[in-house]
Amino acid sequence: MKILRQYIIKEIIVMFLFSLAIFTFTLVVGNIIKLAELVINKGVDIRLVGKLFLYLIPFLLSYTIPMSLLTSVLLVFGRLSGDNEIVAIRSSGINIYRLSFPLIIIGLLFSLLSIILNNDIIPNMHFESRKIIKNIGIKTPGAYLEPGTFIKSFKGYIIFIHEIDKNKLKGVRIYQPQNEHSTRTIIAERGEFITVDNNAIKLKLVNGTSDEPNPKNPINFYKLNFKTYYITLNIDESIAPSGYTDKKPKEMNFREIKNEIQRLGKYHVDTPSLITEFHRKISISFASIVFIIIGIPLGIFTKRGEKTIQFAIALGVIVVFYLLMAISIALSLKGIGSPVFWMYMPNIIIGIAGIILFKKTTEC
């Protein structure tokens, strides 16, 4: 029994590392293309982009670790089943439950590791990434903004830009609400961003007009033509390095979320987003053990020559789990039922399915 367990664990570790490398590389490649575009097309400092890449890795691992565990268990037990080693194991009187117990422990250890990852490391990485993105927005505003959309990142202004080439702009429209009855409108052929300080950007406009509301009669406007016009834009203060109250839910750890819930509770404010995020971190962390529970019997039911099917099954389980998680998050945020119930529902469904399949393997 001991030798057999060591053999299976060794095989699973090898396949886990292989799967982890494949899954992580696949997800990294897609993000590298986006990050490379910031450097090549938008002129963002490569050091800032490098930091964004490093901060992205822990987030990807939170998904690829359970995915790799599921795939490795499916492949190893599929090979054992295909070689009739499962039949030989049963004939020897070895219980599949006892054989699987060390793997359940491994899944539990990975789940506990994932809690540390999701609670301590990833929130900090999200927060640091948001600060870097803000820094990019200050140093290279063109990389931070999207053309063809209404931009509301600057306090007191709504901006629409047709084309953005690094810090050079074409077709600029700026709306500055004065009150509920009048809005100042500025239209320019071209523009350019000029960094002023850590919280402000100067926008140089060329060849345009400005519709200025009459202070005495806001319904009437004065049209002013200009060759060059400067506007100072203040970036909304959405990030403060100190103080968890300025963090988004996904950037908080358990302690910070609890403190924020208590603080808002004093004002009778409902906090479904915070409660949902708190339990989401736990639920997503225990995906590792749930995937192992369902992966073992699924592997036994497949055969060695069906690796393509095994990968398809693994992908199917992954899609179902994260689809259930997305639905649960949506229902939780809408206040339909208890967030605690919804956040653990995907684990419960996949876990129960795994236990049922486990029982069927012992009957075969």
Least trusted range by pLDDT, from 103-112, 148-157, 191-200: 191-200
Higher model confidence: residue 48 or residue 226?
226
Token output for 340: 């605690």
Mean per-residue pLDDT of the chain: 82
In the prediction, which pLDDT does 243 show? 39
Q: Which of 35, 36, 41 is nearest to 165 (CA)?
A: 41
In the prediction, which pLDDT does 349 show? 95
In the prediction, which pLDDT does 300 show? 85
Token output for 312: 């398809």
Share of the chain above pLDDT 70, in %: 82
In the prediction, which pLDDT does 236 show? 54
- Rounded CA-CA distance 304/296 in Å is 14
Angle at 170 between CA 164 and CA 175, to 5 degrees: 95
| pLDDT tens by residue, 226-242 | 888 888 877 654 444 44
pTM attached to this predicted model: 0.73
204-217 average pLDDT score = 79
| pLDDT tens by residue, 55-66 | 889 999 999 999
Least trusted range by pLDDT, from 249-253, 263-267, 323-327, 357-361: 263-267
Tell me the CA end-to-end span of the chain in Å, nearest whole number.
21
Q: Are 142 and 164 in contact (CB under 8 A)?
A: yes
Least trusted range by pLDDT, from 131-145, 146-160, 190-204, 319-333: 131-145
Instruction: Please report which confidence band the pLDDT of residue 142 belongs to, taking 50, 70 and 90 as the band edges.
Output: low
In the prediction, which pLDDT does 105 show? 92
Least trusted range by pLDDT, from 27-31, 146-150, 248-252, 258-262: 146-150
| pLDDT tens by residue, 95-107 | 777 778 889 999 9
- Rounded CA-CA distance 179/215 in Å is 11
Amino acid at 113: L
- Rounded CA-CA distance 18/31 in Å is 20
